[in-house]
Chain A
Amino acid sequence: MSDYLNENPDVIDVDELPSRKEDSNELFENFGSKEAIERKKLLLKIDHSPKSQVLHDIELLDKLLLLNNTPDLISDTESLPSENDSDTNEFQIRGSEDSNITDEYADEPADPVDVQEIYDLTAHICDPEHPLTLGQLSIVNMPDIEVHDDGNPNHLAQIVIRITPTITHCSLATLIGLGIRVRLERALPPRFRITILVKKGTHNSEQQVNKQLNDKERVAAACENEQLLGVVSKMLQTCK
């Protein structure tokens, strides 16, 4: 692939891709008392090193205090709500009838699958002809992702992604679509239905590409092709 179809695409800096803001907090979600966690979050703002002695000391004090309380207090549940929870899912999940699931897990608040999550899964896929990611090239964009999910593990859910090829005659649109599909099918539970479309008016042969992208037989056949799978694997290497 020495000749690039599109030599000079607009590139977004990796740091500037949309991302989930509160990621760093997840580190401590289930650990220690509420007070200590709040403090740790505060501390992270002034000191990012994980070896920080203050952080260590806060954890230590917390541990000693809990040790003193009653030996059994170190709980197995995650008592803290994370910030990005929405309440909408809780009811349905509690209503699920799976008997293997413990009460604690059932009571636990869930992080729903949201647009950002789908974006994070796909935006870091590497473009097959540029050493850049789909997010950097604006092939995948947040507003073009739809998630329809009620959170109930027994219900079907749907995801629609509209991709924007860098140029209207991009011959690699199908390959990019295949990459996204492989990524999502590996990453999401089977109850999710995935539809990948080319954004309206961004490709010359829109209909054809759309048909190819969502043809089960074709996708299955493509995945049996060792060489093609190799290319897709290479695209997925940059995912994080």
Chain B
Amino acid sequence: MSEIDELVVSFIANVNINDDKTNEIAIKITNLIKHKKCKLVQIIVSLKDRFISEDEKERIKALKCLSSVLYNSEPDQLLKNDVSVIVNFYMSKITDNAVMLECFMGLNALMSMKYITIDETTKLLKFLQKDYQSKDYLAAVRNYPFEILLNVYNRWFTQLKDNKNFADLFIQTYISVASGEKDPRNLLISFQINKLIVTTFKVESFQFSQALFDILFSYFPITFKPPKDDPYRISNSDLKLALRSAISASDIFAQDAFSNLIDKLGATSPAIKNDTLLTLLACINKFGGKACIEFWLPMWTALKFEIMHGGDSSETYLDPLAENKSNDLITEGTTPQVSNLQSNYHLSLDILRALAYQLVELDESAFNKYVVHILDELKPNFEFTKDLRQSCNTLAAIGSANLITFNKVVDLALPLFLENTTEISKLKLMLLNLSYFLDSYIKVTKSLENDKEKLEDFIKNNHLNNSKDEILMILGMALTGNSKIEVTVRTLSVIQFTKMIKMEGYLTKEEMSLIIQYITETILTDNNKNIYCACLEGLKVISQTHEDLVYEVSLKELLNLLPNRFDELILYHKDDELIQVEVILKVILDFTTSRHVLIKESIVALSQKLTEVYITGDSEAVDYCFLILSTIYSLLDNNFAVLDENTVSEIKEQTEESLFSILKNNKGDNSILFDNQNLSLLSNILYFANVNFKRNQHQTELLRYTKLFVDTDKILENPSRLVLPYVKILSALDKDCKFDEASSVMERTVALIENSNKNAMTNLEKVGYMEMITILTNKWYNSNMESALIERYVNWDDQSTVNLEMIAWIGKGLIMKNSASSSIILSHFLELLNDKNIGIIVSKLFELFVVDINSMNKRKGITWTNNVKLLYKQKFFNDVFQNLVTSYKAPNLSLDIKCNYLTALSLILKHTPNKLVEQFMVDLLPMLLQALEMPNSEVRISALDTLKDTTEKFGLLITENIDTLIPLLLKLVVPGSKFNDVLVRLLSLQLLGLLATSVPLNYLKPYKEEVINGLLLTLSDKKRVVRKQCIDTRQIYFELGQVPFE
């Protein structure tokens, strides 16, 4: 046997058994032919017997072998003679229904060969047109005629264009092949070929347009739910889009498409309507104005109903399969498509707009007819104030096509409603109506974005310009001329003002300034929530495009309004309007969000204001200073991510001097330095000014600050409040800076703390020095020096509170960087919990390890400040939790000691994210339940807090313990019992309420009466908050299991 024979035999053996293998063999054979090692004839010869075999299967296999070889051959591999012979061979076999698939496969391959002749092609097409009955075959077979057509099209493209007969044959063949097709994969190709035909052979296909259109429209509206494991991954929207683009492919369909689609608009299903509208829109845009002239009237009549009466349907309703699809996509790991579904209402408006555009492009008089007709129909609505929203929306949509349509609509529609009126209800309607035309303006400018010339033309020549002054006046009157009770009108006015600023090129700078001024004044003097939000939104939106203007007109004004000295926290503005300082600061805080110029200017100006207030103010000014400091701090903290290095550096350069002058100039009792909160805020502000400061300057800054605080102010010789700013600055600076004095600073700090009894150190100072120890430990003691550090400063013999506390702070510094040495301190602390005398002190210190100090937190993009490991809390919790639980369960523990463990645990839990706690829940829950009985309200509160989270997340676990939990909680709600303070009672009540949502009804129902009666005493609680919660919780239990009434 020759090599060819072997391969052929093994191919035949593998057919329908191992498709990969057969393919591989086919490629091998093809390669042999390609390299002239054998001839195609040889294959045919070796298959000869099988071709004429009686056995159907044999024939199929043989043909498949030949077809596969052809399929893998290059188009120019076969010579003219070969092609002709093989085509004839296949054509002779094609009457054999059993082998149709393989025949088509081979012929398909042949159709794209270089040496195929037009005659042979014609022969095949004729066969397909006349003798091929598509409905006799399976979808897989039916696929080939489409493929063949596509190949013919690609191979004979130029001939088809030149030869009308050939083209006619091609089209007729397509019509015959495509009729009655149902398989989605074949439909996709069918639609594609249909589109090719009508776009490339427009003239030839004209006589077949009806048939071609019917082939398409018989599927409309297409719906298809892909079966599971669909090998072709065809989705409903693929089919929809293919069909839509085929229907809208050429205006030869115009007549048929428009009349049929308009019919379909009468459909009741919103999904079908949606598809119809989208297709209609595509058709209008493709077919052009000429085709539309005849049809705009019936279209308008059909759409009018949709616009006037159709509600906005929800998205899933419009495309029932959309949800499914996106889910599938996500699970398959591909990017989910963003659904672009529009409501039918908006689509209808888009169609009207498209019609306007096409008509006006074609002929202005046609457009005029269109618009005048619609306007005439809508006019009565204005008279009787009926369906105004829809009417205005319709007109505005038509206007938003281009300059001409816009002007026409403005000329016709604006006089219908635009008039100044003092009647509030009329004014309200007018403002609402106007809004659509302003939107229309914005839409036109957006569509002209890429065409500067046309855009300028529009801005200059649009007719809305003529009414500008009138609109401004009416809006201004609506805002300022009405009493404050008219919330709706005033809010609308602010919204329209904002919109006008968004309209590109419409307003002059002066007009915008005026509007900003209006809005600024309104936001300050009106305390209605809606108006406040509208104004805030307005200012924010305007800042996006006109930041400088907002700064000049609004922010500067706000800052100027802030008093330079303190009298009262209320200012008098013009016209006797009261403005509170708090309101101004709130506005500044709210609207500057993420505009870095505004933030910077606010911070700088507020710092200057602070200095002035500080210099002139008296002791009353402390609260005012506090407010300003809080605002600066919040501005820095909230906008940390937007403030880049340059901005921060500018802020620092412009404010530092004045801030320091406040620190240094401490006179009398109004000093910021002597107010704990103010000093702390100011120190934190200094932290923000340094943390993002130019990093290459940090070394210089470190030296400078150290000189200033340590050498000049001598904060390490005697206790000084200035340690707070110093420690915050230290924590902001780069940890890679060389800090030679670190160990001496540490030494002296520790000495100061040790002597705190003698040197009259205040609590605030102590906090500062303690934090200093943490920062130094964390940043400037590397792992080699840690053991030396512990040896030097950690002294377990001294059990004074101060010493223990200091050790805890050292521990905090180590724990944050996941240092191995931290375990020494931790294990010692855990042991001390068991100590009768100091256990209670130690238990409270556990909170220090995990408490979040803002200046020590990790921030996105900042890597150089402190050594804070991302998961340090998780590690810490893992380390400590088991130990605490085991120790707690030890036999013969006194209640006091148990309480220590619980206190420590609950304090840690307070600062640990719940996610970390979840895995320990099974062990934790019994402890929490016991904690509820501990004679300490802090412990109870913390346990209740954790239980509340647990209830929300682990309903099952709680359900198991419901019989212990409910009686316990009912004890905790009793007013006047020891350790049941307000928060305990309140949280217990909230937890009881929560149980009703997370515990299954059948478990909870038995407790219904018990809870309702158990809460009776609490109804007379002294505290109103508790009573309120008690009533709410009780109500929940009253309704438990009650049949809802509908």
Contacts and interface: CB of A to CB of B under 8 A. Distances in A.
Contacts of B1034: 186-187
B981 A76 contact: yes
Nearest to A96: B976
Interface stretch (A34-42, A159-167, A214-222): A34-42
A68 B766 contact: yes
Contacts of B978: 102, 104
A47 B528 CA distance: 16
B634 interface: yes
B203 interface: no
A58 interface: yes
B1024 interface: yes
Interface stretch (A140-148, A202-210, A228-236): A228-236
B684 interface: yes
A189 B1019 contact: yes
Interface string B16-49: 0000000000000000000000000000000000
A188 B851 CA distance: 41
Contact of B681 (A54, A56, A67): A54
Most chain A CB within a 10 A radius of its CB, from B589, B764, B1034, B1045: B1045
B1020 A153 contact: yes
A60 B853 contact: yes
Contacts of A35: 676-677
A187 B1030 CA distance: 8
Contacts of A46: 582, 585-586, 589, 627, 630-631
A29 B983 CA distance: 9
B767 A68 contact: yes
Contact of A105 (B976, B1024, B1031): B976
A100 B976 contact: yes
A74 B585 CA distance: 33
Given A100-B976, A100-B977, A111-B1024, A61 B680 contact: yes
A58 B1035 CA distance: 36
Contacts of B801: 70-71
Nearest to A106: B976
B1022 A111 contact: yes
B841 interface: yes
Contacts of A15: 528-529
A2 interface: no
A53 B634 contact: yes
A110 interface: yes
Interface string B830-869: 0000000000110011011001111000000000000000
Contacts of B1027: 111, 117, 187
Contact of A65 (B589, B764, B1019, B1035): B764
B1045 A101 contact: no
B720 interface: no
A240 B589 CA distance: 31
Nearest to A117: B1024
Contact of B1045 (A26, A110, A230): A230
Contacts of B767: 61, 64-65, 68
Interface residues of B, number: 67
A227 B1045 contact: yes
Interface string A61-87: 101110111111010111000000000
B1045 A231 contact: yes
A10 interface: no
A121 B1034 CA distance: 13
A52 interface: yes
Contacts of A189: 1016-1017, 1019-1020
Contacts of A58: 677, 680
Nearest to B975: A105
Contacts of A71: 801, 840-841, 844
Interface stretch (B446-454, B462-470, B546-554, B1036-1044): B1036-1044
A226 B976 CA distance: 37
B626 A110 contact: no
Interface string A105-134: 110111100000100010000000000000
Given A65-B767, A234-B1045, A47 B630 contact: yes
A78 B677 CA distance: 22
A172 to B, nearest CB: 15
B96 to A, nearest CB: 73
A144 B823 CA distance: 67
A134 to B, nearest CB: 16
B637 A53 contact: yes
A57 B493 CA distance: 40
Contacts, number: 160
A45 interface: yes
Nearest to A65: B763
Interface size class of A (residues with CB under 8 A): 35 or more
Contact of A78 (B684, B848, B981): B981
Given A46-B586, A68-B805, A57 B1035 contact: no
Interface string B999-1025: 000000000000000001101101111
Given A47-B586, A61-B676, A100-B977, A42 B1024 contact: no
Contacts of A65: 676, 763-764, 767
Nearest to B637: A53
Most chain A CB within a 10 A radius of its CB, from B582, B585, B805: B582
A43 interface: yes
B821 interface: no
Contacts of A234: 1044-1045
A119 to B, nearest CB: 13
Contact of B1035 (A68, A70, A191, A236): A236
Contacts of B529: 15
Contacts of A104: 978, 981
Contacts of B583: 45
Given A46-B627, A53-B854, A102 B977 contact: yes
B844 A187 contact: no
A190 interface: yes
Interface string B510-547: 00000000000000000011000000000000000000
A98 interface: yes
B623 interface: yes
A67 B854 CA distance: 18
Most chain A CB within a 10 A radius of its CB, from B529, B805, B982: B982
Contacts of A117: 1024, 1027
Contacts of B983: 30-31
Contacts of B528: 15
B627 A190 contact: no
Contact of B938 (A74, A98, A102): A74
B1012 to A, nearest CB: 9
Contact of B844 (A36, A67, A78, A190): A67
A3 B676 CA distance: 65
Contacts of A227: 1045
Interface in B759-802: 763-764, 766-767, 801
A29 B841 CA distance: 26
Given A68-B767, A110-B1022, A190 B630 contact: no
A5 interface: no
B937 interface: yes
B437 interface: no
Contacts of A64: 767
A128 to B, nearest CB: 11
Contact of B589 (A47, A67, A108): A47
Most chain A CB within a 10 A radius of its CB, from B677, B805, B853, B1023: B677
Interface in B552-605: 580, 582-583, 585-586, 589
Given A77-B981, A100-B977, A26 B1016 contact: no
5 contacts: A76-B937, A104-B981, A105-B1022, A226-B1043, A234-B1044
Pairs of residues from A and B, 9 with the lowest C-beta to C-beta distance, nearest first: A230-B1045, A101-B976, A45-B582, A111-B1024, A110-B1022, A105-B976, A189-B1020, A187-B1031, A46-B586
Given A46-B589, A58-B680, A110-B1023, 7 more contacts: A29-B982, A30-B981, A53-B633, A61-B677, A67-B847, A188-B1019, A231-B1045
